Amino acid sequence: MAVTYIPEGFHSVTPYLVVRGAQKTIDFIKQTFSAEMIGNMTKRPDGSVMHATFKIGNSLVMISDATAEHSPMPAMLYVYVPDVDAAFKRAIAAGGTSVMEPTDQFYGDRAGGLKDPTGVSWWIGTHQEDVAPQELKKRAEALFKQGKAA
């Protein structure tokens, strides 16, 4: 059987989070997004996470604990969910810190942001409206006139 260049279930781009305290982020995403672990988690002799892959909706994300060779990196992920307000509440209950409460956005999503216990930024959105390019430009300009930066 031929092997494809992208493993089954993966897409061309897969986020890989490198954090201090990977298990905290794993617990956070399980509680917030009902994430499913894919395969077995590999742990180092000291108990830190060497590698784990989990699935949120139809997307895969990899994670590991930082090491001397691989420092933690800032990351921000945007996750579409059916009910942003409910997901945001679950995220706060899972130890997240609010950056922005869910709000209707000019680009057609209702979205909010928070940081998980390891500092990864998660923006959670529910798409509510398809906005035509001209209308999007008009709305963005109106926002900028109010002195707000999207």
Q: Convert the pLDDT of each residue in 108-140 to its tens digit.
A: 999 999 999 999 999 999 999 999 999 999 999
Fold of 16-145: 2,3-Dihydroxybiphenyl 1,2-Dioxygenase; domain 1 (3.10.180)
Q: Are 91 and 110 in contact (CB under 8 A)?
A: no
DSSP symbol at 136: H
Q: What is the pLDDT of residue 73?
A: 94
Name the pTM for this structure: 0.89
- Beta strands 109-115 and 121-127 are antiparallel
Q: pLDDT digit of tens for each residue in the chain (150 aa)? A: 788 889 888 889 999 999 999 999 999 999 999 999 998 899 999 999 999 999 999 999 999 999 999 999 999 999 999 999 999 999 999 999 999 999 999 999 999 999 999 999 999 999 999 999 999 999 999 999 988 766
| Alpha carbons 72 and 57: distance in angstroms, whole number | 25
Contact, 128 vs 108, CB < 8 A?
yes
pLDDT at residue number 2 = 85
According to DSSP, residue 72 is labeled -
Burial 75-114 (b: 16+ CB within 10 A, else e): bebebbbeebeebbebbeebbbeeeeebeebbbbbbbbbb
Cβ-contact 91, 122 below 8 angstroms: yes
pLDDT of residue 39: 84
